[in-house]
Amino acid sequence: MKSPYKSLEKTLGYRFKSKDRLTTALTHPSYRNEKGHETCADNQRLEFLGDAVVGLLAAEHLYAHANDMNEGDMTKFRSTVTNRSGLARVGAAWGIGELLRMGRGEARSGGASKESNLADAVEAVLGAVYEDGGHKAAAKVFSRHFVPRLEHRLVQSPDVDNPKGTLQEFTQRERQTNPEYTILEETGPAHDRTYLASVTWDGEELARGEGASKRAAEVDAARKALAVLQTS
């Protein structure tokens, strides 16, 4: 039997071995509460699992790729993709609201577009992917749909100490152009590398920075460039 959720599987980049798991992930509690559907499962348990899965995958990505961040900043960035609004935006991009099985009352009240329903369904789907395919499968979906949003926030967010984002805002405001970063040098053994980065703006080098990762070196260069620009 052809899965009614084939388009969603294509969007996710994951094909379920058990279609029932995906069906459950897309079943709102109001559907189960209607007469005739009392014995079917809703997505609340998968939502619980998915909440933990999304949090773990976001933490893993930040731990591996944001070497210069402290615990507090990583927590703030993790919340940008794991909070209700962030999850709901992912759900809207997936078109998940149109696939949700809801009770008639919930559907009539606009349940397909409610932020809470979209966010819960996204967590449930991630939980279903994890249950169906394990950590590797869930990480693949997370990388495809969450990491680009996380990386965008890493560059743009003014909510934490973010020299690269602040520098970009400055250069955009002044000349509508972006700074450019170049890794000039890598030194030290493989387990203890030091990177040297340069940041230029309109062809002029503003500063150089060092760090234990490429991003850390770029952040250091951006911080020094801001110091130069703010005193000029």
Backbone φ, ψ for residue 174 (5° rounding): -80, -45
Nearest to 22 by CA among 3, 1, 40, 36: 3
Second-level CATH architecture of 6-156 = Orthogonal Bundle (1.10)
Return mean pLDDT, the chain. Answer: 88
51 included as an active-site residue: yes
Quick one: average pLDDT of 161-185?
Answer: 86
**Given a cut of 70, is residue 161 above it in pLDDT?**
no
Quick one: average pLDDT of 84-101?
Answer: 92
In the chain, the largest separation of any two C-alpha atoms, in whole Å, equals 73
| CA distance linking residue 137 with residue 108, whole number of Å | 35
Q: What is the pTM of this model?
A: 0.67
How confident is the model over 49-63, as pLDDT tens digits? 999 999 999 999 988
Q: For tokens 């984002």, name the residue.
A: 165
- CATH 3.30.160.20: does it fit domain 163-231? yes
DSSP 3-state of 120: helix
How confident is the model over 109-128, as pLDDT tens digits? 999 999 999 999 999 999 99
| CA distance linking residue 225 with residue 74, whole number of Å | 24
- 152 and 162 in contact (C-beta within 8 Å)? no
| CA distance linking residue 164 with residue 220, whole number of Å | 9
**From 42, 51, 218, 220, the catalytic residue:** 51
Confidence band of 3 (pLDDT split at 50, 70, 90):
low
Quick one: average pLDDT of 16-36?
Answer: 91
123 included as an active-site residue: yes
Rg over alpha carbons for the chain, rounded to the nearest Å, is 22
Quick one: average pLDDT of 157-184?
Answer: 80
The total of other beta-carbon atoms located within 10 Å of residue 177's CB is 12
| CA distance linking residue 194 with residue 201, whole number of Å | 24
List residues bridging with 199 in a β-sheet: 181, 207
The H-assigned helical ranges of the chain are 6-12, 19-25, 29-32, 44-65, 71-82, 84-94, 104-108, 115-145, 147-156, 163-175, 214-231
The total of other beta-carbon atoms located within 10 Å of residue 10's CB is 10
How do the domains of the chain map onto residue ranges? 6-156, 163-231
DSSP 3-state of 146: coil
Tell me what pLDDT residue 214 has.
Answer: 87
**From 42, 73, 120, 123, the catalytic residue:** 123
Quick one: average pLDDT of 87-105?
Answer: 93
- Joined together, the tokens standing for residue 199 give 């940041």
- Does 6-156 match 163-231 in CATH topology? no
Backbone φ, ψ for residue 37 (5° rounding): -120, 10
In the chain, the N- to C-terminal Cα span, in Å, equals 69
| CA distance linking residue 212 with residue 197, whole number of Å | 11
